[in-house]
A and B are shown apart, each in its own frame.
Chain A
Amino acid sequence: MSAPTTPAPLNPDGSRRTFMKQAGGFLGLALAPPFISQAERLTALSKKVEGVSTISLKVNGAVRAIRAEPRVTLLDALREYLDLTGSKKGCDHGQCGACTVLVDGKRVNSCLTLAVMTQGKEITTIEGLAKGEELHPMQAAFLKHDGFQCGYCTPGQIMSAVACVQEGHAGSADEVREWMSGNLCRCSAYPNITAAILEAKTQMG
């Protein structure tokens, strides 16, 4: 087992869960990486990366460092290394949108993004939307309109919806449906999701 400072990559034999269980205590330490000054511009990136290296990610305003291989996706970095489990792993192939986060303000599928390639960028996840106890208007609108059933797709829906409004693609229900098509909901809460987005649009500055 790796030292606490070098979280192991996902085990190919599927025993990651066991590993996480056993190493929970150690990982707790490993997952509290040193905070780097936010003012740091992340210019000192090493050009070639082989094996485990330090990857600095600016997530929800705070720069955090992880030790990970280049193959680690942004989604796995968020969930498994930074303990930000709001972003969900659905298909892991860019087909369902559950992993949607904002990178430099643009919505992307974090499952098809390498963490190493997002250094120096501003990453926003569902955990970064609320201001303290005050929900983001999109979160509040999803609650009000019951824009979910099981809730698994919801963080991705909300991140995508925030971007959809900011892009100016929420002019009508039809436009919302087209520009939100990258976020699937197996519970089929689409009518409520659409209503939530159209309402939140009027409240987003």
Chain B
Amino acid sequence: MNNFSYIQADKAKEATTAKRDDKSAAFIAGGTTLLDLMKLNVENHDQLIDVNMLPFRGIEMTKNGLRIGALERMSDVGEHPLVVQNFPAVSQSLLLAASAQLRNMASIGGNVLQRTRCGYFRDTAFPCNKREPGTGCPAIEGDNRNLAILGTSDACIATSYPGDLSVALVALDAVLTLENAKGKQREVPITKFYLLPGSTPQKETVLEDDELIVAVTIPQTAAAQKSMYLKVRERTSYAYALASAAVGLEVQGGVIRAAKVALGGVGAQPWRSPEAEKMLVGKAPSEAVFRAAAEAALRGAKPREHNAFKVEMAQNTLVRALSEVAA
């Protein structure tokens, strides 16, 4: 790990200004992704700005929904009664992620910015368009078992966000509050926060250089109340998703009134599926309907040599999640 200077910021403006003035700086909260990548020399920063003293804490119900301070830790949010009771998919996505140790460390804001586990990205001996734009993507013809089948490009097929939380947040229409060096805040729906790789896979989100995530707000809906996160992986615990599904259904009088569907582990970004939702709304819940929705969700899939299994796996994951939440 290269050496760096360290600042503990007391005020948001101090943090965002320091970041604006130093293109090589990074914010640090939990550090679980950042220090991992710095040890691999995948990221090199000459300054780390510690944001843990900033007042972006708290888990509270507001008129816009549940507001979670970006510095809250995964473990605290995952087990918080307001989250468990009103947003089961969010709670499950947090508690099925990583390990107890990492969940104690990792912040919500940092989790949303977690970076890909693509082996070529993480190994500086290989070219990688995300790490070094223009050098190429060996994953396309290489070991792509863990990589994406939806939303990829000729430049990158990584599951850019490999985690779980954002899959649930994308399904439930969460909104991120960002603050810049001018002290100005803006709200960005998380469905518009991530960018598809296209020809610029190095640009992963709409976050500006001087912007800090300060909160996540999740609207309280009937579908969020009746939601779940199902994660399929190579071992029972402590592994990234091969495929996952965050779903929420509002069923009234035997008919689906509202449906929220997102997939993890298969998309170049946390993958909301309006196609699947369209197949569900207005129908009576049944396995056939769920199957049709799952097929619609994966219709545009572009599997590669080693990850073709993910098409069927993601469909089955989605069908199972919908069946469980409708039961």
B260 to chain A, nearest CB (A): 26
Q: How far is the CB of A91 from chain B (nearest CB, A)?
A: 10
The answer to whether A181 touches B99, judged by C-beta atoms less than 8 angstroms apart, is yes
**Which residues of chain A are near B36, meaning CB under 8 Å?**
93-94, 112
> Of B8, B39, B50, which is within 8 A of A93 by CB?
B39
The number of chain B residues with a CB under 8 A from chain A is: 30
* Assembled-state Cα–Cα distance A164/B104 (Å): 12
The yes or no answer to A204 lying at the interface (CB within 8 A) is no
Contact yes or no, A97 B35, CB < 8 A: no
CA distance A167 to B76 in the complex (A): 11
- Asked whether A50 and B50 contact (CB < 8 A) given A113-B105, A163-B100, A164-B100, the answer is no
Choose from B1, B4, B52, B102 the contact partner of A109 (Cβ within 8 Å).
B102
| CB-based contact A94/B32 at 8 Å | yes
Closest to B34 in A: A112
Shortest distance between the CB of A114 and any CB in chain B (Å)? 7
Of A14-22, A24-32, A68-76, A129-137, the segment with at least 4 beta carbons within 8 Å of chain B is: A68-76
A47 at the interface (CB under 8 A from B): yes
Judged by a CB distance under 8 angstroms, whether B64 is at the interface is no
Closest to A105 in B: B104
Q: Cα distance A169–B75 when bound, in Å? A: 12
Q: Is B252 an interface residue (CB 8 A)?
A: no
In residues 96-110 of chain A, which contact B (Cβ within 8 Å)?
97, 100, 106-109
B99:A112 contact, CB within 8 angstroms? no
Report the bound CA distance from A167 to B101 in whole Å. Answer: 12
A114 to B2, CA, bound (A): 13
Expressed in whole angstroms, the Cα–Cα distance for A45 and B32 within the complex equals 23
Instruction: Tell me whether A177 is interfacial, beta carbon within 8 Å.
Output: yes
Known: A70-B5, A71-B3, A112-B32. A107 touches B39 (CB 8 A): no
CB distance from A117 to the nearest CB of B (A): 6
Q: Which of A47, A49, A69, A107 lies in contact with B100, CB distance below 8 A?
A: A107
Q: Which residues on the B side are within 8 Å of A107 (C-beta)?
A: 100-101, 104
CB distance from B216 to the nearest CB of A (A): 22
Instruction: Decide if B98 is an interface residue (CB 8 Å cutoff).
Output: yes
Report which B residues bind A (CB closer than 8 A).
1-8, 10, 28, 31-32, 35-36, 39-40, 48, 50, 52, 75, 98-102, 104-105, 236-238
